[in-house]
Each structure stands twice: as structure tokens, then as C-alpha cells.
Structure 1
Amino acid sequence: MTAVLNAEQVDVGYDGGAVVSDINTSALRGQLICLLGPNGAGKSTILRTLSGHLAPLGGTVYIGGKSVTKMSENERAKKLSVVLTEKPPLHMTTARDLVSMGRSPHTGFWGRLSETDEKKVREAMDTVGISELAEREFMGLSDGEKQKILIARALAQEPQLMILDEPTSHLDINSRIEIMNILSQLAHQKGLTIIMSIHDIDIALKTCQNVILIKDGRLLSQGTPEDTIGDRTIEGLYDIEKASYDTLLGNMELRNTAKPLLFIVAGAGSGIPLYRALTRNGFGFVTGILHEGDIDCRVAADMRIEVVREKPFTAVSGETFAAAEKRIGAFRCAVDTAFPLGEHNTANVRLLRTFLHNGGKLFSMRPREENLRLYPECGNVAEVTSAAEITDYIKKEYQTGRIHHEQ
């Protein structure tokens, strides 16, 4: 397949020197490509160079096989469209008027819209889903609506290539998803090639077919998200030290470095809300017994929490149980997060019964009937319904000195 864009040994920058050097990349028809990298890495400079707004310091950018620097402005506008971060301050301009400006490369000297031009404007607005905004004044719209209109204007140019600089910046989560969904549909259904910079890592990796990683003046790697992003790639790309990005789960977890105050028995996702609540309140904990591969085990590991773990799909061994019994014994409080019970984790109930018989206090998120069945004759069980309730209790007990770090 012929590439819509080729960059060969391109250096980008300004008179002061190159910002990013030796860029070699290509974009095929229908591809959605994201540039990822920290602020100041040169993403915007690369986009300005690829679009012809900035001449390369070295190398050549080809669009449709022709050097972009050798194209006239009108010729370039028929091949590619650009959506920048800044919204134009266009007062007394309707959405339809602004989208119509996208037809300027096709309207000739007088700039009059033909019937065909009017049809293309309507089609662009329909495709992006903003037809109902046609007569609304641009400056009176929300940021998300403005971004859709600018994309519709770019689409009205009928380009082969669309370049966007941070199209989701300053937007709420729903607008971000809508914008990315629109761009994805333009690539898949219209065959439009789209290259953009973006800071929404999770959305980018779930939407873009290819990613380009940029840092320290060079292109680090490029390819599909699955081939390019490893366990520590994002942390290294952005120099993240106090959080972990989980490639499998597609989320970021803050690392918990506080000294442990309690033991949490969890599993199958039941512990994650409490893990996060305690972490953001500055309280440490130990968790277990969790089987490797359990989502609670993975999230706790991302947080750098100590986990008493067992091999997957096996019953808890005597050795693992003894290790958990020793760890839980160092605390005054423990939590049962109402983890699902199965043949491989019944030892966790036995662990908590032993903890109670030894004088510990248990917070259980299970219904009363289940607590009476699992912990008979154990009066030191407090029934709670939320992670916030447990966190509030721990905070109060810690502040009054009734609960301490592990012994």
C-alpha cells in the first residue's frame, strides 16, 4: 500500500537547532497515529513540520509522493488539513460559516460556494454530528462542540491526511471520548489518514493503530501499541517515579510508600476501591492471600504494596498460609472485602477466623447473615458498607493513637 505520508531522515526545529532528529516514519491510508511524549519533547514541532508549516532542518517530508515544501499552499490544503490546539476567536461567525471555510482550497478566487461545496459542508457536519449547531455562533459553544466544528472544517477540505495537535486537551472525559470516536470513524470508514499528538495515554493506546514515542530529541520507537508499549515503557517515557502504568489494564496507579497499618484480605477486584482510598489518604497496608493473576494482586503490585501471594489456580499451601498468618498477626485491624469464595481461597476465611480468635478487629463488607455464617461466635466483627467508611475509621483511630504501624 502506498504511503500517504513519508518522513525520511527528517530533523525538526528552529534556528536555535534541532528539537528532534532523524525522524523516519510513514503513514498509510486509513491509519490513526498518535505521537506520545512529555511536554517539550517536540511533538508540536514535528506536526508543524509534517504539515509544511515549518521547514525541516534536514531530510524530506513527502505527501502523496511529493515534497511538502515544494507544494503551493493551495495544493497542500487539498492534500492535508490541520487542527491546532488554539481555537480561533471568531465572533459573529456561525458553525456553518466556519465549516464552510474548509472549502476555500476548492472555491477559486472569489470564494463562492457552489452547490457541490454546500453539499460537502453538510456532509462534513453530518459526519461529525454537529448539524444541529449549524446556526449557532461559534464563540458561544462549548470547547467540545468547538473542537467538533474545527474537525468538520478540516474534513470539508476533503484531505487525504488530517493532522491534529492535542485535539482532546481541555475537554471533559465524555467530549474526549466523542472526539476520539469521531477520528477513529474517519480513519476506518472514510479512509482518512490521521496523525495527532495526545496526552490521554489510555485513550490513545485503545484507539490508535500506531503510536510514535518521542523523548530526548529522538524518536524512541514506533508501531502498534501492543508491539511498542511494554510494562515500564510509559513510566520511562514520562519519567514517572510515583506511579505505575499497567499496560494490561490500561490505567495508572499511585505507588503507596506509607508504612502498613492493617491487613486486607481481598480478591477478584473486591479490594481495589479500598486500596485506592487508603493510598490517597496516605495509609499503607499489606494484602493477601491473593493468587497470581488475580486483578487485586496485579493492582497491589502496581502500587508497590506487599502481597502475600499464591500460585494461580492452586489451593493455598501451608507455607503460604503460615506467611499470611505471620503478617496479619502484626496488625490490630484487618478487612474482609467480601471477596468471592471458591475452592482455592477458603484458607482466607480460616486466616481471618484465626486473626479474630487472637484478639484482632475485623471490618467485614459482607452482609450480616454471611458474617454470622463465616465468623460464628466472633464478636469483634464490624460490618461496613464502603471503602470510605473503613478509611474514615482508620484515620480516626490513627489520629487518636489507637492504631499503629505494624508491630
Structure 2
Amino acid sequence: MIVAENLDVGYDKKVVVDNVNIQGIKGQLICLLGPNGSGKSTILRTLTGLLAPLKGTVYINEDNIKNIKKSDLAKKLAVVLTEQVSLGLLTVFEITSMGRYPHTNYLGKLTDEDIEIIEEALCSVNAIHLKDRYYCELSDGEKQKIMIARALVQQPELIVLDEPTSHLDIKHKVEVISILHKLCREKKITVVLALHDIDLAIKGCQTILLIQNGKIIDQGSPEEVIKTGTIQKLYEIEGAQYNELLGSLEFSSSQNVEFFVTGGNGTGTGVYRAISRAGYGMYCGVLHSNDIDIHVGKSLNCNVIEQGAFQKISSKNFEIAKEKIKDIKYVIDTGFPVGDINRFNIDLIIEAIKMNKTVFTLCKKDELKERYGQFNNKVHHCSSVCELMDCISNKKIKRRGEYFNDDLQVTNRG
């Protein structure tokens, strides 16, 4: 549908991005991903003919774009740019109808067929109920949907969008990407867009081009790009790590380690993040290498004690964890499910109790005795992560209806 061949793009003979090669097939969603100023918009302007290439060629349906008449190009290609233009007191219907001009007569008169196409486009973007509203009264998300509808009534084979989700809330971001997916799938329209939202790009697009320092540093399917590990380098992220497996950004925790936190089966993820947000560092363990908690823990830059997937926790890892617990004050049991392969983590918590460490648990209250046996009255039960963090931040610890301070002296009965 669209091919960029050995393309150099830029302004006034100055190359912004060189050697761009794209092959977009019918019904494909292609994303240019990169930091601000990396050249995404320059590439898009060149792909649409708004900017002449410094080198190389752009083909649409095997025709060199510079040889296609503007009137014919408008029937093949629609463009949605980031610039907001003042459209006065025009209604949604009137603005959407502008996309029909390549197909209308000299006077621009709309036929019944044109009106049907306009209304169908508004339905496609879930905006038919807005057709009589003034465009200036709409929210940013609604305006973006109308711009897509206006592009859609051109009946193009290719739509190019420059950061269509900028300034939108999460509801409208998801809705815009979903609409574009639907156009690709049902109408076989090829969509090329620029984004700076890593999560949306990886989870919503079929092909990704990573752009940095005037180069395409990687391209392919999201799965292929993730394997190369280039996304972390792409944005030169400091103070946080992007987890390419989970598609999420995690802020690094403090290296001032005060907690030992267990985990498993996803029970640790919320606790790790809450502890990190509060400004504390932690040891996490013992975690299996196939558990979601270990990926979050590593992304938070925690000190993780790792066990191989589906293996029983080894005596070696048990002793390593036990030594770590000696050096800290607080231990948190995340309420992880207990089985043969991770039972040593319960033994670790009991060892912490014997060391007179302050131990919190998020397990169910009616499981305390079964989980800790004779030591069940030595742990501080919290019903939620919020309650846990409240105890930590206020330095008050609840145990069996009583409140204790850090040295476990009764301060108030409740």
C-alpha cells in the first residue's frame, strides 16, 4: 500500500532522519515511536507529500507520490496532523463533510450518497450523536474522533496521523486506537501514525519503527522489537525502567533497604510498588523466575533473590534470604499461595519472628493459625496494602485489635 525506499527526510537540505525504509501492506497499523524531536513528524510529512524527500522515493500503490495528482492523492490518502485550526462555528457534520470535497463536483454540493457516507463515518468513530454540535464545544477526545471521521469520508486506502492521542485522557486514547484498529480490520485501510506512548504502541500496533538520533534503530513487530531490548535505550530513561515483557514503566526504588518482602503469584506487585513509592528500598524473595512478581521487582531495581522456574526453593537461597533478613527491621508477607515449591518462604517469615523482626502479613485473617502455627500471634495483620502503608507511615502497628509502636509496646487499645 505504501513504500518508503531509502528515504532521507529533513528541511533545507539538512537530514533529520536518514535511510527510512517502510513497507506497509493493506490493513496494517504501523507506528513510529520515539522521543520528542526525533523526526517522527518529519517522516510523516514526507510520506504524505507535504514535504519533499531529500533522497529516496515514496510509493503509494506502486506510484511515485510526486507523480500523483493532488486530486487523485486526496482519494487515496488522508492526513490528520497535530495542528489545531480554528474552525469557527461549524458543526461536526459540516467539518466532517469537508472530507468529501475530492469526490464532489466543482460547487462542492453533497449528494444523498455523500451524506450517507458522512453519517457512516461518524458512526464508525462513535460520534453520530455529535453531528449537530458545534466543533468548538467538543472535548479534545471528541475533536480527535471528528478529525478521523473527516479523514474517513475521503474513502482513503491510507490514513496518516501525527500523535493522535496527545493530550487525551486514557478513555479517549483507548477509543482512538480501537477505532483505528477497526478501520484496519474491517475496511482494510492502512494506518501510519506517530506516538510517544510506549504502552499504546506496543499493545496496539502491528509494526513499530523506533527512531532515535536521526536513525531507525529497530523495526518489526512489537514482539520482535521487545526481544532486542532497545526501548529502554530509546528514551534514555533515568530513575525508572521500562519492563518490555509487561509493557510497563516502573520507578526505581530507593537503595536504602529497610524491608524484606516475599511474593509470588502476583501478590507482591502492589506491595513492591507501594513500598517503592514511599521511598524505601527492599529485598524481594525468594521469587521464581517465571513469576510476574520477579519482573516487577527487577524493574523497580529491588534486590531480588531468584529461584529457577518450577523448582523448590533451595537451601542456598533460603540461607541467602535469611542473612538478608538479619540486616533489616521489617518483613512483609504478601499473602502468597503456599505450595511445596515455595514453603521455605513461610519458614523464612518464622525465622524473622524468632529474630524479633516486625512482621506484617496480608494473608486472610482466618488463615493466620494454619500459616504460622504457634507464631500466629506474633505477626501484624493488615487487610489491604493501604492499611499496611498506613501502619508503616504512621509507625503504628495493629496486632489482634491492639496498636503497637515500633518497639511493640502497647500504646492504645482499639
> What TM-score, normalized to structure 1?
0.94
The reply to whether residue 310 of structure 1 matches residue 307 of structure 2 is yes
Q: Which residue of 1 aligns with 2:26?
A: 29
Which of the residues 182, 186, 190 maps onto 1:185? 182
User: 1:297-332 CA deviation, whole Å, 9 max, x = no partner?
Assistant: 121112221112222212222111111111112122
The reply to whether residue 106 of structure 1 matches residue 108 of structure 2 is no
SS of the residue corresponding to residue 25 of structure 1 reads strand
Q: CA shift at 1:395, angstroms?
A: 3.4
Which of the residues 228, 232, 238 maps onto 1:241? 238
Does the 8 Å contact 2:287/2:293 carry over to 1? yes
The one-letter code matched in structure 2 to 1:61 is V
Does the 8 Å contact 1:271/1:337 carry over to 2? yes
User: 1:96-143 CA deviation, whole Å, 9 max, x = no partner?
Assistant: 111100001111211111122112111211222211111011111111
SS of the residue corresponding to residue 167 of structure 2 reads coil
Which of the residues 390, 393, 404 maps onto 2:391? 393
Q: CA shift at 1:154, angstroms?
A: 0.1
Q: CA shift at 1:275, angstroms?
A: 0.7
Q: Which residue of 1 aligns with 2:261?
A: 264
Which of the residues 283, 286, 302 maps onto 1:286? 283
CA distance in 1, matches of 2:385, 2:115: 56
Q: Which residue of 2 aligns with 1:382?
A: 380
Which of the residues 198, 219, 222 maps onto 1:225? 222
User: 1:339-373 CA deviation, whole Å, 9 max, x = no partner?
Assistant: 11111111111111121122111111123321233
CA distance in 2, matches of 1:61, 1:367: 62
Q: Which residue of 1 aligns with 2:79?
A: 82
CA distance in 2, matches of 1:312, 1:65: 50
User: 1:142-199 CA deviation, whole Å, 9 max, x = no partner?
Assistant: 1111111110100000111100000111111111111001000100110101000011
Q: Which residue of 1 aligns with 2:191?
A: 194
CA distance in 1, matches of 2:155, 2:13: 36
Q: Which residue of 1 aligns with 2:336?
A: 339
Q: How does 1:1-16 map to 2 (within 5 A)?
A: 4-15=1-12
Q: Which moved more, 1:277-286 or 1:35-44?
A: 277-286
The one-letter code matched in structure 1 to 2:143 is K
CA distance in 1, matches of 2:373, 2:226: 49
Does the 8 Å contact 1:33/1:196 carry over to 2? yes
CA distance in 2, matches of 1:374, 1:36: 48
Does the 8 Å contact 2:36/2:196 carry over to 1? no
CA distance in 2, matches of 1:22, 1:273: 44
CA distance in 2, matches of 1:305, 1:158: 52
Q: Which residue of 2 aligns with 1:367?
A: 364
Does the 8 Å contact 2:13/2:54 carry over to 1? no
Which of the residues 295, 298, 314 maps onto 1:301? 298
Does the 8 Å contact 1:232/1:245 carry over to 2? no
Does the 8 Å contact 2:312/2:341 carry over to 1? yes
Does the 8 Å contact 1:255/1:304 carry over to 2? yes
Q: Which residue of 1 aligns with 2:399?
A: none
SS of the residue corresponding to residue 375 of structure 1 reads helix
Unaligned runs of 5+ residues in structure 1 are: none
Does the 8 Å contact 1:19/1:217 carry over to 2? yes
The one-letter code matched in structure 2 to 1:222 is Q
Q: CA shift at 1:16, angstroms?
A: 5.6
The one-letter code matched in structure 2 to 1:388 is C
Does the 8 Å contact 1:231/1:245 carry over to 2? no
Which of the residues 345, 358, 364 maps onto 1:348? 345
The one-letter code matched in structure 2 to 1:393 is C
Q: Which residue of 2 aligns with 1:135?
A: 132
Does the 8 Å contact 1:128/1:151 carry over to 2? yes
Q: CA shift at 1:59, angstroms?
A: 1.4
CA distance in 1, matches of 2:184, 2:30: 10
Which of the residues 88, 93, 98 maps onto 1:91? 88
Does the 8 Å contact 1:235/1:241 carry over to 2? no
Does the 8 Å contact 2:7/2:53 carry over to 1? yes
CA distance in 2, matches of 1:22, 1:324: 51
Q: CA shift at 1:231, angstroms?
A: 5.8
CA distance in 2, matches of 1:365, 1:229: 34
CA distance in 2, matches of 1:348, 1:227: 36
SS of the residue corresponding to residue 230 of structure 1 reads helix
CA distance in 1, matches of 2:119, 2:370: 66
SS of the residue corresponding to residue 212 of structure 1 reads strand
Does the 8 Å contact 2:218/2:230 carry over to 1? no
Q: RMSD of the TM alignment (CA)?
A: 1.7
Does the 8 Å contact 2:10/2:53 carry over to 1? yes
CA distance in 2, matches of 1:310, 1:7: 47
Q: CA shift at 1:402, angstroms?
A: 5.8
Does the 8 Å contact 1:231/1:247 carry over to 2? no
SS of the residue corresponding to residue 115 of structure 2 reads helix
Q: CA shift at 1:292, angstroms?
A: 1.4
SS of the residue corresponding to residue 258 of structure 1 reads coil
SS of the residue corresponding to residue 132 of structure 1 reads helix
Which of the residues 42, 48, 52 maps onto 1:51? 48
User: Alignment identity in percent?
Assistant: 42
Number of matched residues?
Answer: 398
> What TM-score, normalized to structure 2?
0.92
The one-letter code matched in structure 2 to 1:253 is E
Unaligned runs of 5+ residues in structure 2 are: 397-404, 408-414
